[in-house]
Amino acid sequence: MNAVEQRVDFPTALIVGALTVAGLTSIYSATYDAGLSDIAAKQLIWAGVGLVGFTVAFLMPFRALQRLSYPAYFLLLLALVSVLLLGRTVSGSTSWFSIGTLRFQPSEFAKVTTVLALSSYISRNDVSLANFKNLTVAAGIVLLPVTLIMLQPDLGTAVIYLAMFLPAIYWGGATKFAILAMVAPVVAAIAGIFGTTFLLIAVVLIGILLYVTKENRIVAAAVFSLAVLVGVSVQFIYAGLKPYQQNRIATFLDPNADPLGAGYNVLQSKVAIGSGGFLGKGYLEGTQTQLRFIPEQWTDFIYCVPGEEFGFVGAVTVLGLFFGLLCRGVQLGSSVKSSFGSLLAICITGIFSAHVFINIGMSLGLLPVIGVPLPFLSYGGSALITNMIMVGILMNLYANRKEY
């Protein structure tokens, strides 16, 4: 292995390059017959800006990433507060700053600063996640931006922040009980949405797992009680949601309940992917895509394009590329000598994993539509630049994997 191969992770670079090209061609196809060719042109420009961000993140001194983690984190917290006061409202969410014709979303960039701050804190020599106080501080690092994002409101982005937290504390050494204590209320809440039977099954499983961990009985009983309380309270919380949020949940449970309303995109997405067959209908030949059955398909439902136009082969190829990227991330997290770098690699991989799992689950009708883009494929400058920066950080960690 020569000096260049030792510093440059070529497999990751090739995977991300292929995904970015797939995104640009898919967006062009989705906007081809819609008279919106400027969208594909804008995404190409954002890809160029993202390449600059990637280069900066890749070449930045490794130690500088850790030194800048806290200042960058607080700067983005300030931006999240500012966007609530001065931001532009799009689709009911005040998530954007507008400068002329340009818009950018602070919550996307804050993903990077949050994983940097979280990794920096957990990797400190004086921090042990077996200590409840330290675990609470780690949770607070994530919950601060999540709270501000929920005020926008932007449920999809907030979920991604929470998805990065569990891999971080698992990798950082939190006990099984601590992880279970955080997951149990969420599982109970989801089960409660499906009805009493599902909630009872979830509660029984939670009780068994809590017993197996052999934690202090009083603490275990408190966690169990909290999970039950959350599960029972779901219906009251559901009643307080906005109508469009209720529709999304109802559509998730049964997309056919509102086929011309909240369930329309999901049903058309499934038709598009299913109609592609094995080899697809051909580039720019997808009927669901070209006839615009799916509104703004170039955003959250972009996965339908390769699925329809290149069929099973195209859909699986995209999944294979993402699987390769996630495997590289986990492998990097295992091989990096620095605890900060190892945690950072796992957190970033967790973010990509959540995006892929949720977005493709949305497209297939397996998960509710909560507005989570598909990395490198969905249209959006802020998201693409953020993803390129995170890949640049991964490449930086690879180049410095032998440093402690």
Predicted pLDDT at 236:
73
Phi first, then psi: what are they for 102, rounded to 5°? -90, 140
pLDDT confidence of residue 299: 84
Query: Is residue 47 in some structural domain?
Result: no
In a domain, 232, yes or no: yes
Q: What is the pLDDT of residue 287?
A: 75
d(CA 85, CA 81) in angstroms, rounded, equals 7
Q: Does some domain include residue 187?
A: yes
Q: What is the pTM of this model?
A: 0.88
Residues 6 or more apart whose CB falls under 8 angstroms from that of 287 comprise 275, 281, 293, 308
> 90 has which bridge partners?
93
Query: In the prediction, which pLDDT does 247 show?
Result: 66
Containing 280, the helix (H) or strand (E) segment is none
Rounded-to-integer distance, Cα 321 and Cα 16, Å: 8
Domain membership of residue 231 (yes or no) is yes
Nearest-angstrom CA–CA distance, 374 and 359: 6
Averages of pLDDT over runs of 10 residues in the chain (404 residues) are 74 96 92 78 94 95 91 94 84 74 85 96 91 90 91 82 88 87 83 79 89 79 88 75 67 58 70 84 79 74 90 94 96 93 95 94 82 92 95 94 84
Is 43 a member of any domain? no
With respect to residue 236, please indicate whether it lies within any of the assigned structural domains: yes
Query: Where does residue 367 fall: left (phi above 0), alpha (psi -120 to 50 degrees), or beta otherwise?
Result: beta
Asked if residue 181 is part of any domain, the answer here is: yes
Q: Cβ distance 294 to 304 under 8 Å?
A: yes
Residue 208 lies in a domain: yes
Residue-number span of the structural domain to which 219 is assigned:
175-240
Query: Residue 80 has which token pair?
Result: 């999240």
Using a CB cutoff of 8 Å and minimum separation of 24, what contacts does 76-81 make? 76/106, 76/109, 76/110, 76/113, 76/114, 76/145, 77/110, 77/144, 77/145, 77/148, 79/106, 79/109, 79/110, 80/106, 80/107, 80/110, 80/145, 80/148, 80/149, 81/148
Total domains, the chain: 1
